Chains A and B, each alone.
Chain A
Amino acid sequence: MTSDVAAPRTPVPFPDRDVVVGLVVNPVAGLGGAAGLKGSDGEQVQREALARGATPRAGERAARAVRALLARRPGTRVVTVPGSMGELSARDAGAPCALVRPSPSSSADPGSAGATTARDTRQAVVALADVDLLLFAGGDGTARDVLDAVRELGDQAPPVLGIPAGVKVYSGCFAVSPAAAGFLAAGYASGLRHGPGTADAGTVEAEVVDLDEERYRQGLVSPRLYGSLRVPAARAALSGRKAGSSGVVPASVEGIAREVVARMRPGVRYVLGPGATTQAVGRELGLTTTLLGVDVVEADDGGVLVAGDVSEAELFALVTGREAVVVLSVIGGQGFVLGRGNQQVSPRVIDAVIGCGGATGRRLLVLATPQKLAALRGRPLLADSGDEDLDRKLSGHVQVITGYRESTIYQICTASEEFHG
């Protein structure tokens, strides 16, 4: 086990520069699920889960992903870290893998499930920074740890793809199943071999969200948007195409941004909520706005950033006594419009915006691609501003901008009704 361990942050140990896929497993991910604990964050919960008879399954799910990868693309090189954080899964899948050791200071014994921590995940990701694609097995908490490491790496970070193994997998950076993760990785790897821009080599940004598990155990669903990770672009259509329809997503985000800017009027303040869709609106105005923060812009003189990444109090001051419009996007898969990742847009901020006149529908612009709405499978959009009266006031049908001069009318309701009803 020691002879083939390479030093961290060295180039990938394969001379022929074939595509290299990295693997990180959070062996305790998903532990709390079968035990009815709704999550696995924290050592205490993990111990409780084991006491209730839970067995670790993240390693086995990771092996399934690797098996699928090798089935679709035999001979793909896999690099991972020793023990249960990757090596065992790779060997289980029959992958000829090379190992890198995360960090000499790592105190955890990677061989025993239940002893690894968020820090181990982060260090493993950093050690595997040179791979072409990094597969990680875990849940939303793991995705957050990966996101932290990716931020630390900056431009050098590889694209990643989640193998769903957690109790809650709300983030958009996961494949729909372990096998799907393997197939997606194989498609991406083949695309890279044929040069960038061909086949499946493209990437897209996918959101990372997580829940406060303690609140979740009390029956309160409070997912938060933490950021986004670069993942391979999935190509769903293999054949059976009719009248050119590939469901390409990025273009429609640009179309939505163009529509919002076309609707902007001078002298009005526009509050851009967090998310990649609203960030595209800023880009369309020629401005650099934040992905996760709330920004205030005006369309005057071709686009002005009034204030970036504002707090609730700053935002309230900026919209009070002014004509303003709030622009929010939908959290994919969940349908949240208010109350997730955008708490700065508080009830009093919305009251101030609506209070300055005009129909509510013109004061609140909701943005979503048709694909995002389709993925809700008929479920309504959700508002959870923290003020149930306000949520009820916003309930009903809202216009959702889906593209340039394209929209739909979609139902929005209060989150409490949706989850209790």
Chain B
Amino acid sequence: MNTAESFAELPVAPKPPLRRFHQARWDEPIIFELSAPGRRGLAVPEPGAPLVELPETVRRAEPPKLPEMSQLHVLRHYLRLSQENLGVDLNIDVGQGTCTMKYSPKVNDRFAAAIAELHPLQHEETVQGVLEIYWRLERMLAEISGMSRVSLQPGSGSAAIYANIAMIRAYHAANGEGHRDQVITTMFSHPSNAACAKTAGYEVITLMPDADGYPDIEALRAAVGPRTAALMITNPEDTGIFNPRIREFVELVHSVGGLACYDQANANGILGITRARDAGFDLCHFNLHKTFSTPHACGGPAAGACGVSAELEPFLPGPVVTFDGAAYGMETPPHSIGKVRPFLGVTPNIVRAYAWIMAMGAEGLRQVAETAVLNNNYLMHKILQIPGASAPWDKRRVEQVRYSWQELSEETGVHSEEIGVRAADFGVHYWTSHHPYLVPEPFTLEPTESYSKEDLDEYAAILAHVASEARTDPEFVKGAPYNQSVHKIDTTSLDDPKAWAPTWRAYVRKHLS
């Protein structure tokens, strides 16, 4: 018998090398369009107790215009939407580079559910347990970053960056240096740094990369001066390249009286290996939904954490949790910038991050970083074997890589966005880059520690297949996707505020009336 054809003897044929994926397509309406007057999920009996009389000022004149639906229809609606989706629980989500898409253990949701009944206005004495979790998580993040104290109040990574720039502003004002009106950042740092600094009233100076892909230190030397309030920088940057002269960057800024703020939204490649404070930084922030594995739900619920040196402690957002050796309490620091969101923080995510770190332990955290870096370098090795793919700047990468399809695109006319869309026909996708594209025809992959060798092989095989399609039939790739819920999205309306409708009510007002 010919062994090469032995599978023909098997009762079930083996799967082909590439998955024959097809996304569900339900053509599902908006839930408000499914509403039918009088339809109910439950027929609730008339209450026996008398109605509570609300004051006239808080009573609704009309009932809220919620969709009226049966339970089955609600369940079906949301299950259908969930099938018309890609996400970390469904696909090999290594293509959302800079987002650090990793597995979030489901057991941690059980712990988060355990505190769901708490009310944020309960007396401190009755919530000692959750305050202890806040306190302990803060101490862990202080240890991980080397910082003195950490605020867990911000509701997102960008809120944490904004809290940091607000503390920088308050610090300089308190020292009589309110004239410092410039913030320096880099082109490959997350754009939220520039955006938050500008929102806080600063002029923003963005450093471009030098010939080696590092932020240009000579440009920094020319940029710093008496107007410098702070440097806000990511490292490794979105290219995945770690800046080995980061301490010099910090010292240059310190030499003119500025502060240095480290964007550690994604610290996945450096956990347990290097710390923000050890490089001299005065502030840093983490996104708990990236490095610390609370679900990255593309829009929430997120959570951020701000770490500061002892000099900046008085400016932290309040309240912070205190511990006197016996009981946990809350207090607002003396020169606090105020609240950046209501109450203490996004408590369910604080619980999840705490549970994740406790499960990992110190050794486990370092292993996360080492595995993420190993995975990234393995994937890079596979990707660079694809003809037409490259990684600009011949440099070692940490946990992600910003690649380029420039060569493939010049030869075939197929753009990076189009290759990413075609990849969605195989159940995966990727993100290109922030604008403007410094790396031509970019795509950014970040495998994290969560994915197996088989996952990475499959992902690389999909991109290799699409790249070869681009050479043999570029128009076919440009016509993709073919197996997805939605064919092509016209993004024009995203630039037209008149077309925006963030709510159904706005949609009715703008487009139906």
Contacts and interface: CB of A to CB of B under 8 A. Distances in A.
Contacts of A402: 206
Interface stretch (B57-65, B445-453, B486-494): B486-494
Contacts of A370: 206, 436
Nearest to A68: B413
B205 A408 contact: yes
A9 interface: no
B325 to A, nearest CB: 44
Nearest to A396: B222
Contact of B435 (A68, A245, A396): A245
Contacts, number: 114
A109 interface: no
A362 interface: no
A240 B431 contact: yes
A373 interface: yes
Interface string B208-231: 111100001011111100000000
B301 interface: no
Interface string A237-263: 111111111111000000000000000
B398 to A, nearest CB: 21
B384 to A, nearest CB: 20
A237 B475 contact: no
A199 interface: yes
Contacts of A373: 208, 436
A177 B219 contact: no
B438 interface: yes
A218 B430 CA distance: 47
Given A405-B198, A407-B205, A408-B205, A238 B417 contact: yes
Contact of A198 (B220, B415, B488, B492): B492
B488 A239 contact: yes
B491 A239 contact: yes
A377 interface: yes
A239 B420 CA distance: 8
A405 B203 contact: yes
Contacts of A238: 415, 417-418, 421, 488, 491
Given A240-B431, A241-B491, A405 B204 contact: yes
A51 interface: no
B429 interface: yes
A402 B139 CA distance: 41
Contacts of B394: none
A179 interface: yes
A236 interface: yes
Given A238-B421, A239-B417, A405-B204, A248 B495 contact: yes
A378 interface: yes
A1 interface: no
Interface string A376-412: 0110000000000000000011010010011111110
A236 B435 CA distance: 11
A408 B430 contact: no
B207 A409 contact: yes
A216 to B, nearest CB: 24
Interface string A19-50: 00000000000000000000000000000000
Contacts of A177: 410, 413
B434 interface: yes
Interface string B472-499: 0001000000000000111110110000
A221 interface: no
B222 A242 contact: no
A239 B475 CA distance: 17
B7 interface: no
Contacts of B492: 198-200, 235
B271 to A, nearest CB: 24
A408 B184 CA distance: 9
Contact of B210 (A240, A378, A396): A378
A180 interface: yes
Contacts of A71: 475
Contacts of B219: 397, 408-411
Given A246-B494, A409-B207, A240 B436 contact: no
Interface string B162-195: 0000000000000000000000000100010010
B440 interface: yes
B432 interface: yes
B223 A409 contact: yes
A244 B431 CA distance: 13
Contacts of A240: 416-417, 420-421, 429-432
Contacts of A244: 494
Contact of A236 (B194, B415, B429): B415
Contact of A411 (B216, B421, B440): B216
A390 to B, nearest CB: 19
Given A246-B435, A405-B202, A408-B206, 17 more contacts: A179-B413, A183-B413, A238-B415, A238-B418, A242-B434, A246-B491, A247-B437, A370-B436, A373-B208, A375-B436, A377-B438, A378-B210, A399-B205, A405-B203, A407-B206, A408-B187, A409-B207
Please give me the 8 A-B residue pairs with the lowest Cβ-Cβ distance, nearest first: A397-B222, A409-B219, A374-B436, A247-B435, A245-B435, A405-B203, A238-B417, A371-B436
30 contacts: A177-B413, A179-B413, A235-B492, A236-B417, A237-B417, A237-B491, A240-B416, A240-B429, A240-B431, A243-B191, A245-B434, A245-B435, A246-B494, A246-B495, A378-B211, A396-B222, A399-B205, A399-B223, A405-B198, A406-B198, A406-B203, A406-B206, A407-B204, A407-B205, A408-B207, A408-B219, A409-B216, A409-B219, A410-B219, A411-B218
